[in-house]
Structure 1
């Protein structure tokens, strides 16, 4: 009798274990099936949630502020378009424009160098006036003369600000000078100051380098960069480009040159000087501490964008998209390009390229 009860107990235990395993197996199976169904339905649920949370004001805000990214801009024309102008925009063309064309493959941008003059804001605007470009990039405002030429040819030019750059002055790394005031810089280029000894440096002749005024990429004779026509002194030596100027400065102990801070501050063969409105307010165009030429290849100097942003750096340049207002395809692409740069994505990319955003 005892053996019979023991066998029953064992059988009942085995049945209980079997049922328990069967129940656990079913639960696990249901969990797997449920998880699989949730995964398959997830995209639809997310889309439905996005649609339910949409507000009409979202589209209005994107439109009024230029949109949050490159995908939100409407009326971007398809095709290949020519553009050119300021050499200061080189990093934007490399970084920002490549992002635009990746996100908007229907838009192809082709940079065109001038055939007769050195590249820069002035030559780009001339090419736009002559119909060689669809829009131009400039590091200075339009002049009255350029607007008058456009009017004579039956259209107008619009300048749309998309960023801010600093103008840096660079010298040979061996030159020992604390910095320059804006007035001293202007006096050097007008021929009134001709020796570094006059501004706290060594007894060494100053050799100022510049692009020719008619091809100038940036200007230095006004805080708002409107005095493009200011005459240079006979001591100024003219160069074709910033690349040529930097190459020459590495060989000229007393030379100096001015250009886009983004273009020259990271260069290893030259040294950027602090500038100020007064001699007691010298502001470096680079982030301190200054990286020595020996360490430059491993750690480049960076532009002091905070000083440009807060206005303490004395010479800045607004960056403009120059748009031909002719109700044609040139106006459409110029307008679209400016809007792309003014999106949140475009402004962040401009900051990444070493400039200051305007939004």
Structure 2
């Protein structure tokens, strides 16, 4: 742990003992999206999302969409599934054995654009910045927007921060100073992250 790195979560209590400092730079929304072939569905509830991921809801027609089998795209239990489980799926939900498990988020992003009737979850900032041709789903009526992240209405967010040693190298300190500066915040905002200035 004694190194500088980007971190998509805040430091855990035991990690703070390693003489690390954490700087929260921004937050990214975690988006649930579908391939554009999934017409007429713009919102899903918690129960519907549980049904989709568990496999008890198998066809988009059950939710008012097209008559087509739902293709669930998933990645291993890392940030992605942990966020979905924390806010919507619950820790004990068994993911459908028919879900297509991909190794990393970049593979899921490619798959959702190329797989009709698919659903998956990934970075909102990436989706906006790259103008991905996917449908952004509201969850329980809350739209995944930068404004809703800013006002804490959209719960699924990923903190983007930097951990450094308390006595960092000069170049590392200079980078952190830039990242925390107005110019650094503007650069993050250009890529559709919600920026913050607090030091944790």
TM-score bucket of the superposed structures, by smaller chain: 0.7 to 0.9
2:195 is aligned with 1:357:
yes
In structure 1, the residue matched to 2:97 is 234
Structure of greater relative contact order (alpha carbons < 8 Å, 6+ residues apart): 2
What whole-Å deviation, never above 9, does each CA across 1:301-321 have from its counterpart, x for those lacking one? xxx422321233342222121
CA offset at residue 217 of structure 1?
A: 9.0
Q: Does the aligned pair in 2 maintain the 1:164–1:357 contact within 8 Å? A: yes
What whole-Å deviation, never above 9, does each CA across 1:156-183 have from its counterpart, x for those lacking one? 5544311111111222112112222345
The separation in 2 between residues aligned to 1:265 and 1:184, in whole angstroms, is 25
CA offset at residue 212 of structure 1?
A: 1.3
Q: Larger % of strand: which? A: 2
Aligned length: 195
Counterpart pick for 1:173 among 25, 30, 36: 36
Counterpart pick for 1:249 among 109, 112, 133: 112
In structure 1, the residue matched to 2:84 is 220
Question: Unaligned regions of 5+ residues in structure 2, if any?
Answer: none
Cα distance, 1:358–1:212 mapped onto 2, change above 3 Å: same
Q: Does the aligned pair in 1 maintain the 2:42–2:135 contact within 8 Å? A: no
What whole-Å deviation, never above 9, does each CA across 1:278-318 have from its counterpart, x for those lacking one? 2xx242x3xxxxxxxxxxxxxxxxxx422321233342222
Q: Larger % of helix: which? A: 1
In structure 2, the residue matched to 1:317 is 158
Counterpart pick for 1:206 among 58, 70, 73: 70
CA offset at residue 260 of structure 1?
A: 0.8
Q: Does the aligned pair in 1 maintain the 2:50–2:93 contact within 8 Å? A: no
The separation in 2 between residues aligned to 1:143 and 1:196, in whole angstroms, is 39
Larger C-alpha radius of gyration, 1 or 2?
Answer: 1
What whole-Å deviation, never above 9, does each CA across 1:240-265 have from its counterpart, x for those lacking one? 33332233223322211111111123
Q: Does the aligned pair in 1 maintain the 2:8–2:160 contact within 8 Å? A: yes
Cα distance, 1:251–1:350 mapped onto 2, change above 3 Å: closer
In structure 2, the residue matched to 1:163 is 26
TM-score between the two structures when normalised by the length of structure 2? 0.74
Cα distance, 1:239–1:305 mapped onto 2, change above 3 Å: same
Q: Does the aligned pair in 2 maintain the 1:208–1:255 contact within 8 Å? A: yes
